[in-house]
Each structure stands twice: as C-alpha cells, then as structure tokens.
Amino acid sequence: MNQANLSMVELFRVEVENQAAEIIKGLLELERDNLNPKLLQSLMRAAHSIKGAARIVNLPNAVVLAHAMEDCFSAAQKGLKLKRPHIDILLKGADHLARIALLDETKIASWIVENTNTYSELATSIRNSMSLGQEELAAKEIIPASALNAVELSKPVPAPPPEPQTAVDAVEEKALRINAELLDRLIGLAAEFLVESRRLGPFVHTLLRIVRRQNELTNHLESLERRLKEIGLEDSELELLRSAKRESADNAVNIATQWRSLEGFERRSNQLSRQLYKEATTSRMRPFAEGVASFPRMVRDIAGELGKHVRLDIAGLNTLVDRDILEILQAPLNHLLRNAIDHGIELPEERLTADKPDEGIIRLEARHQAGMLFVSIDDDGRGIDPELLRKTVVKRNLVSEEVATGLSNNELYDFLFLPGFTIKDKVTEISGRGVGLDVVLNTLQQIRGSIRTHSEIGRGTHFQLQLPLTLSVMRGLVTQIAGEAYVFPLARVEKALILEQHEISSLQGHDFFYFNGKPVGIVAASQVLELPPSMDASDRYNVVVVSDRDGRFGITVDCFVGESNLVVRPLDAGLGKLHDIAAETLLEDGTPALIIDVDDLTRSIDRLIGRNRLRHGKLATPATHVKQVKRILVVDDSFTVREVERKLLENKGYQVEVAIDGMDGWNASRGGAFDLVITDVDMPRMNGIELVSKIKKNAALKSMPVVIMSYKDREEDRLRGLDAGADYYLTKGNFNDEALLDVVTSLIGEA
C-alpha cells in the first residue's frame, strides 16, 4: 500500500503491528539464548520504536508500557538475566501493544484510555520483575496510573523528514491494491491458457504425419515414373505424371514450412503459458512463515500450562504456499501441534528418566517435491503405542479382537482419524475429547490432500501432509468409463494397475484381489456411476486403487488415458451436488471430463455392499428385483447403530440402505426411491435436523415419512425435530426393537 496516503494513526498501527511481532518472536528466541547481545539490541530497538511512535500520536499509556519494556531490555544488556517470569510478563506487554493494530483507527485512543490500569499494571510488573534480579533498578521511578495524564505529551513531535529515495528503492516499494476475486479470475484464465495452449500439440503431430505422407506420395510418384520408363513410355506420355510429382514435391515443401512454423508457435505458446501461469500463481503465493508465525508462541504457552518444556523448530519458512491453502492449513496444523504437545512430548522428569533432554522438540517443515507441497510435523516424544491403540479399537467395538490382531500399525493409525476417537481416558482443555484428527483429515480431503502417519515407541511420531501446490490446477489420472472421460485426483490414487483374470478371486459373491498382501474389494466404475457396462470381453482389467478412512477399493475402468495437469472448474451451482462427482475440467484436446469425488465414490460402494449388489466389474449387470419390497434409508454416523437398525429391519423383510452422515443421506434420498428415512441428529457435514428440513422442503420427497432417532431426549429437542418436519421422534436411550418396528409399520406398513 502507498504509505503516503495513510494517516498518522494508521501508520502507527502498521508500526506497532510489525514491531510487536518482532518483540514476540525475539522473546521466544531469547528464552533459548538469554545472552544474545544482537537479539537484546533488536528487542530494545523495537520497544523504542513503539515508544516513539506512540508519543507522536499522543498515546501516553502505550508510551509508558513500551518505555518499561525498553528499560527491561536495556537492563538485560547490562547483565540482568531474563528468566521465564520476565519473558511471560514481557510477552503480555507485547500482546497488549499488538492488539492496538487490530482496532479501528477511531477507537484506538478510547480503548487505551479504558485500559489505563492494565497498561499501568503491566509497566509496574515489568519494572518490579527487573528489581528481582538487580537491586539498583528497584529504585527506578514507576509512573503511577494517576500520573499518566500528567505526562507532557500534548504536543506531537513532528515526524522526521523522509530520507532521499533512490530510483531502485522507489521501484521496489511500488504496490497495487487489487480485488482478491479479480486476481483469482486472472489466475483461472492463466490456468485455462496453460491447458488451451497444449491443444496445439495434436495439430502439430497431425501436420507432421501429413508431411511424411506427402513425402511418401512424392517417392511413390518417382517410383512410378521410373517403372513406366522401364516399360517403354515416352517422355511426352509421362508429362502428366511429372507434373503431379512436381506438385506433390511443392506441397511437401509448403506443408513442411507450415509445420515448422506451427511447431515453433506451439513451443513458444507453451513456454509463454507456463511462464504466465507461474507468474500468476506466484502472485497469490505467500511464504510458509506467514501462516505459522503464531505457532511458536502457542507451543510455548500450551507447554507451560502442561508443565512441559517444548521447543518448536520450523524449517522451510520461505517455501511458497497458495494463500488459500495456507489459510486452510491453520486449523489442521494447530490440531497436530496441540496433539504433539499433549499426547507426544513427555513431562521433563519422564524424559530425563528415558535418557532424553528435558526439553522436547517439535519440528514443522514445508517443502516442494514432485509438484506437490509436503508439510511434516515430527516430535521426539513417547510415540504411539500400537498395542494400546489396538486395545482401544476393540474396546470401542470398532472391530473384533480377532480382526484387530491382524491389523498392521499403519492400519491401526487410520483409526486415529475417526470422529470421536481418542486413546486418552482423561479429558483436558487441550485434548481427549476425540475431536481433532478427524477434522484434520476432512479438511485435507476438501483440498485434495492426504495425510500419512508413522510412529516409534519412545522415539516420536511423524505426520506428513501431502497437498497440491494450488487449488486452481490439479494433477489427475484420466480414464475412460463407458466411453466418457473421467478423472481421478492423483493425490487420492494409491495405485493404477492392470490385473489378469486369474488374479481376481471371489468370496460370497464379492470379487477381490490382493494388494500389498491385503484383500481389496473390486467393483466396476460403470456400476457405481450407473453407466452402461463395458462390452469389452478382454480378460485384463484396468484398476484404480483408491481409499478413505473406512477402507480401500479397486475401481475398474475401460482404459487409462494418462496423467495430466488439469484446470478445476466448479460445477454449475444449479445442478446441486452430483453423486460421486466433484468438478469438471477440459482435457488437453478440448474434451470435457468429470472429476471423481473419491469420498462420495467410496460411500456409494459401501451402499452397494449394504444392498448386496456389488458384483465383479466386467460381469456386472444392472440389478433387477423380482419382488418390489419397501425400502428404508438409515442415516447415522455410528457404525454400530447403523448395523443394529439395518439387521433389525432386514430381518422383518425390509430392504435397507445406509448412509454415514447427513450429507450422504441427503444424496442417497434424492437418488433412491425410499419409503422411509430413519436419521440421527448429531452428525458431521449435515445434522439430522437439516436433513429432515431439506427432505420436507423438496417437492419430490416431502411426502416421504422421516423418523428421528437420537440420544437427545429433552422436550425441546423433540419439539425441534418435529418442527423440522419429522413424522416421529424416538430416543435411543429408551430404544427397543418393538418400538422401532411399531413406528415403521404404522408409517409404511409391513414389508
């Protein structure tokens, strides 16, 4: 921004924001290196700058606080050792100064006056803390709150004249304000140009083939001329053939010239489009440091609350990250760091007993690799005990003890990302509620990212986040399904492979193959997407292996087209949420393609399994029903509740389909003709009340009965559900088989 257009108070806000951030950063470093003279000098200079700026804009309270901090740093330069109590009170002072930058210009003066006592107490505390370590500083005059207004600051000190600016400096400081939405549109156009420029490639190759064919034609004409001469034709009789040969040769030269011209244009166009897209995306890239500036302070404060000594080391501060991704990463990284402090790092006495330094270390790193952004968090704490995790999984009835015994460590780690899952028995303000890692996974999947976990007992835990460099362009695996192009986000593809017929086995009507020693179910993409089955009779199958937190699946496609960088285009909002589809794109040859929503796709496969309709991909045919049965949709985020209700209703002859949350239930209810919906209330993505409201407001669905089953049994909860349009409200606390069956029968009759 042009500082010449800023008022004095706005300039002060900019000054105090920058200098307070430097003080906070410096204090955290000073806690580790107490005798660093350069650091102390930098801190004193920052406090002095705030004091001078506050005096200019006539804010005496800020002057007093900044002056006390400056004196403390000066005393440290003279030998005062700043310990944790000193650092704590100085950080509080910096926090109060930093808050000024968040206030509206017109409210700064009144806010500081309202907080006169706070500023005075902080200044007094800073000076008192200095007296603890240096007797001669105890007698230093402390300005009482009552005397603040007496400080002679009524006459603003004129700002010093600006220093002469060189031409180079003037260029470097030029800046332009631009609307973020306009910048995003420009980046989108640059991304489209990047893709469109590649459409020239096929034309270049086609023209090259024409050049070669034309040369072949010329050679054939020459051969024909020699052959006709050998059989005795006169030159006059061969004139027409010679004329055709000359025309062919001329055409070959002209086409070759045009090919070289088009090839050069295609090369320059590709180079220019790549450079334009790189420059455009760089304009929205921010250093990783901007998104993690608050984390060292957060780690220090939380560790202090828990009685732990923890240091956060950050690498890759200059790594450029898309500003949207950087903003979205705040919450996941916050969760992971808190978990590392609370779950991972041990108390000082535990670490000393384990022959570790009493200070734990957490390392946060960002780097670019293979066209992706990798962010890792490592701690040197106690690590994750796989046996404790295994017992917790069994205790929570997530899997049987027999199944849990055969799970690998990596498979066990996946349970950490389930909603409500925790291995801690005690709930604290930091963790233990089972909320956090599922938020991390959901957030990452929304931006086409993934997370991997590795841990060693006694040595620590490693989380690695893999993310796209930008959200406007994605790397995808292009496939063909039922003659149409579909794209799988490459970040969600574990493997693409070709299987022979003998590599596929069947068990209880379901087909599977072994991947990394584990059985993986296989299904045709055409069956899941409700497309015509492939007529290809080949005994080789193209399989895309994808996974989510609940399992891994192999999806058969007609063929692999290849990997490509593609511009992500959102679907028309009027279409709503399409089953199994996330967005659209254009391939390099201009062919439109749909981008698969992998999470939706795996949920659709789960529904097929629940309805016992999952069969081998190449042999799958549309399911037919000899008998029309009444269909019920059960929506609940608890696997146990879903299965209990499903089995109960199926035993009575109803056909039951399940959905794992409100959004999944809403998609399923629109896509299937159900006679009844039974839903929970508290669910991720969309709760049960929202689901009921949407169903009852939909003209095609509003006549379908809906039953709410919830643990909430208060009268206001019941009224809330019925007001939303539910036909019946049951409580799980008083649940029994007969009650549910009676309600179902009364609403839709017997199966």
Angle 737-748/639-651 helices, nearest 10 degrees? 60
**CB 377, CB 337: distance < 8 Å:** yes
Domain carrying residue 716? 631-748
656 and 723 share one domain: yes
DSSP classification of residue 569: B
- 711 occurs within a structural domain: yes
Name the residue among 296, 232, 196, 286 with its Cα closest to residue 586.
Answer: 196
Q: What is the reported pLDDT for 536?
A: 63
Domain's final residue, options 468, 500, 518? 468
Domain's final residue, options 444, 468, 492? 468
Q: What is the reported pLDDT for 149?
A: 40
33: left (phi over 0), alpha (psi -120 to 50) or beta: beta
Structure tokens at 345: 């790092």
309 and 401 share one domain: yes
**Separation CA 117–CA 629 (nearest Å):** 74
239 and 380 share one domain: no
546 and 645 share one domain: no
- 164 occurs within a structural domain: no
Domain's final residue, options 468, 500, 527? 468
**Separation CA 80–CA 63 (nearest Å):** 23
**CB 419, CB 684: distance < 8 Å:** yes
- The enclosing domain of 677 has a CATH number of 3.40.50.2300
464 and 481 share one domain: no
Whose tokens are 């100064």? That residue is 97
* Sheet order of strands, 484-489 included: 559-567, 473-481, 484-489, 592-596, 581-586
Q: What is the reported pLDDT for 455?
A: 92
Number of domains in the chain: 5
**Whole-number percent of the chain with pLDDT over 70:** 83
Q: What is the reported pLDDT for 151?
A: 36
**Separation CA 431–CA 435 (nearest Å):** 8
- 621 occurs within a structural domain: no
533 and 386 share one domain: no
Neighbours of 279 (CB within 10 A): 11
437 and 392 share one domain: yes
Structure tokens at 192: 């489209």
Strands 493-500 and 309-315: unpaired
Please list, in sequence order, all residues whose beta carbon lies within 8 angstroms of the beta carbon of residue 573, skipping any fewer than 6 positions away. Answer: none
377: left (phi over 0), alpha (psi -120 to 50) or beta: beta
- 423 occurs within a structural domain: yes
**Separation CA 125–CA 91 (nearest Å):** 12
- 177 occurs within a structural domain: no
DSSP string spanning 146-160? GGGGGSS--SPPPPP
**CB 311, CB 341: distance < 8 Å:** no
**Alpha helix positions (H), 340-474:** 348-353, 386-395, 401-405, 409-414, 437-446
> Long-range contact list for 733-738, CB < 8 A, 24+ apart?
735/709, 737/648
Q: For residue 513, how far is the Cα from the chain centroid? A: 31
pLDDT digits (tens, 9 = 90+) for 190-210: 767 776 776 677 777 778 888
- The enclosing domain of 603 has a CATH number of 2.40.50.180
- 509 occurs within a structural domain: yes
Residue type, 178: I
Count of helices and strands (H, E) across the chain: 26, 23
- The enclosing domain of 304 has a CATH number of 3.30.565.10
Nearest-5° Cα angle at 318, 340 to 270: 120
**Separation CA 565–CA 370 (nearest Å):** 13
Name the residue among 354, 347, 365, 357 with its Cα closest to residue 303.
Answer: 347
32 and 146 share one domain: yes
**Three-state secondary-structure class, residue 35:** coil
50 and 116 share one domain: yes
Q: What is the reported pLDDT for 432?
A: 45
- Tell me the residue length of the chain: 751
**CB 416, CB 452: distance < 8 Å:** no
748 class by beta-carbon count within 10 Å (0-12 exposed, 13-18 middle, 19+ buried): middle
Alpha-carbon Rg of the chain, whole angstroms? 35
Neighbours of 101 (CB within 10 A): 17
- 549 occurs within a structural domain: yes
444 and 483 share one domain: no
Neighbours of 411 (CB within 10 A): 16
Structure tokens at 325: 């991704």
Query: Which helix H or strand E contains 650, and what residues bound it?
Result: helix 639-651
393 and 415 share one domain: yes
**Three-state secondary-structure class, residue 283:** coil
**Separation CA 523–CA 509 (nearest Å):** 12
pLDDT digits (tens, 9 = 90+) for 497-541: 998 888 888 776 678 888 877 888 888 888 888 888 766 666 788
346 and 463 share one domain: yes
- 439 occurs within a structural domain: yes
- The enclosing domain of 14 has a CATH number of 1.20.120.160
Name the residue among 333, 322, 350 with its Cα closest to residue 298.
Answer: 333
Half-sphere exposure in the Cβ direction for 355 (13 Å, CA): 2
**Separation CA 299–CA 464 (nearest Å):** 19
Spans in the chain with pLDDT lower than 70: 1-7, 105, 112, 131-180, 191, 195, 198-199, 281, 424-436, 508-509, 534-538, 548-551, 573, 576-577, 588-590, 609-628, 672, 733-735
Please list, in sequence order, all residues whose beta carbon lies within 8 angstroms of the beta carbon of residue 734, skipping any fewer than 6 positions away. Answer: 713
